[in-house]
Amino acid sequence: MNQDAFTFLSTRLSYPSKAMTGPAPDRAALQPILQAALRVPDHGKLEPWRLIVGYRPALARWADLAEARAREEGSDPERIEKGRGQFDRSHLAVVVIAAPKASDKIPEIEQTLSAGALCAGLVNAASAAGWGAQWLTGWVSHDRPFITRAFDCDAREWVAGIIHIGSKAAPAPDRPRPDLARVVHWA
């Protein structure tokens, strides 16, 4: 048993992106995190995802695009803030784009699960490297015009997650965890 790895996974917490501060990992510090996360299960080696790394200039652009899109829809101020806020407050975001490939052997659901596993892997790798990390989505992740403009998603692509990574300002709060007796069935 790898006790250190088990202890890390059994005590790991997502760090709230609203509480993150700068600095964020620079390119040299981020590359090993990305490399670790890319060890994700990928049946058929299709690589049914792509990553977009955004630092402050890109984040500012995405915030402006989110606000413009929300205003285009006539959204209320709360929706505008939710859309632009996650980008305004962030120092680094890695956008995981699910990009399913046509395959007779690998069902699209397995490709989707691979994209989700990549998001979880990024949070775990960044956390293991000592950074705060949180996987967010929000309306911006599901709005087709926004993801087309911001992330150049084609019609088959979609946002699996926006992983915010930064420095921790204070210890992360824990949340209630599932009760094994309620969610596990022993067959």
Give the model confidence (pLDDT) of 19-36 as tens digits. 999 999 999 999 999 999
Whether 173 has a pLDDT exceeding 90, the answer reads: no
User: pLDDT band at 172, cuts 50/70/90?
Assistant: confident
The answer to whether position 89 is within a domain reads: yes
Look at residue 113 in the predicted model and tell me its pLDDT: 96
The answer to whether position 175 is within a domain reads: no
Look at residue 43 in the predicted model and tell me its pLDDT: 81
The answer to whether position 182 is within a domain reads: no
Look at residue 67 in the predicted model and tell me its pLDDT: 97
Q: Is the pTM of this model over 0.75?
A: yes
The answer to whether position 16 is within a domain reads: no
Judge contact between 124 and 163, C-beta under 8 A: no
Q: Is 65 annotated as a binding residue?
A: no
Q: Is 21 annotated as a binding residue?
A: no
Q: Is 51 annotated as a binding residue?
A: no
Look at residue 64 in the predicted model and tell me its pLDDT: 98
**7 Cβ partners below 8 Å, 6+ apart?**
none
Residues 52-87 pLDDT 10s: 999 999 999 999 999 999 999 999 999 999 999 999
Q: Is 43 annotated as a binding residue?
A: yes
Q: Is 137 annotated as a binding residue?
A: yes
Structure tokens at 22: 């700068």
The answer to whether position 9 is within a domain reads: no
> What integer best gives the mean pLDDT of the chain?
96
The answer to whether position 97 is within a domain reads: yes
For residue 32, the domain's CATH number is 3.40.109.10
Question: Mean of the pLDDT values across residues 37-47?
Answer: 92
Give the domain extent around 143: 23-168
User: Residue 36: is it exposed, middle or buried by C-beta count within 10 angstroms (0-12/13-18/19+)?
Assistant: middle
The answer to whether position 119 is within a domain reads: yes
Cα torsion 56, 61, 64, 65: sign = negative
In whole angstroms, what is the distance from residue 122 CA to residue 92 CA? 13
User: pLDDT band at 40, cuts 50/70/90?
Assistant: very high
Instruction: State the total domains in the chain.
Output: 1
Judge contact between 164 and 19, C-beta under 8 A: no
Q: What is the DSSP letter of 169?
A: S
Q: Is 13 annotated as a binding residue?
A: yes
Question: Mean of the pLDDT values across residues 92-120?
Answer: 96
Q: Is 167 annotated as a binding residue?
A: no
The answer to whether position 101 is within a domain reads: yes
